[in-house]
Amino acid sequence: MAWALALATCSGAAHAANCQLTVEANDMIQFNARALQVDAGCSEVQLTLHHVGKMEAHVLGHDWVLARSADVAAIANAGIAAGFDKGYLPLGDRRILAATKIVGGGEATTITFSTANLVPGGDYSFFCSYPGHTSMMRGRFQLSAKESLAANHSPGQPSVGH
Ligand code: ZN
């Protein structure tokens, strides 16, 4: 599988793989994106969260958390119990696939996370774990399965993934 992904990345030279994301959050308790997508060829994703509002972190901060959609509610609830000092996230919870720290207005933070634990086409969501924000600040996260499309479009070549 890793071989197939690497080959797909190399052969898709027409445009660079989309492995970087920037998400904005504001004082209206909104992300500026309802869905995010990265190419399955990305071994790592670099994500920047920018709080474009003015509210301080302990008043109305935001973070960006990635998890399976089915785990979002449980993580958010555990995060509220964990409290602000823990970034409103349960420490060491393996259901959390990636997470930034909480930022306040005017601040930005960047994380890099591996896609090794993500399945192309899997049902993932990103959300803010700040208390009361999760229902409003939430969207789909997709690891696109482009390499399988590319394989389907080149019937003249032998399969590389045997
Ligand atoms: Zn938030």
* 92-141 per-position pLDDT tens digit: 999 999 999 999 999 999 999 999 989 999 999 999 999 999 999 999 99
Residue 77 near residue 143 (C-beta atoms within 8 A): no
**CA-CA distance, 86 to 88, in Å (whole number)?**
5
Distance 65 CA to ligand 1 centre (A): 10
- For the chain, percent of residues with pLDDT exceeding 70: 80
Nearest CA to 115 out of 36, 26, 14, 33 is that of 36
Distance 81 CA to ligand 1 centre (A): 16
Residue 25 near residue 128 (C-beta atoms within 8 A): yes
Distance 71 CA to ligand 1 centre (A): 18
Range 22-36 average pLDDT = 98
Distance 128 CA to ligand 1 centre (A): 5
Q: Which two tokens stand for residue 36?
A: 């995010």
Residue 19 has pLDDT above 60, yes or no: yes
Domains annotated on the chain, with CATH: 2-152 (2.60.40.420)
Distance 12 CA to ligand 1 centre (A): 36
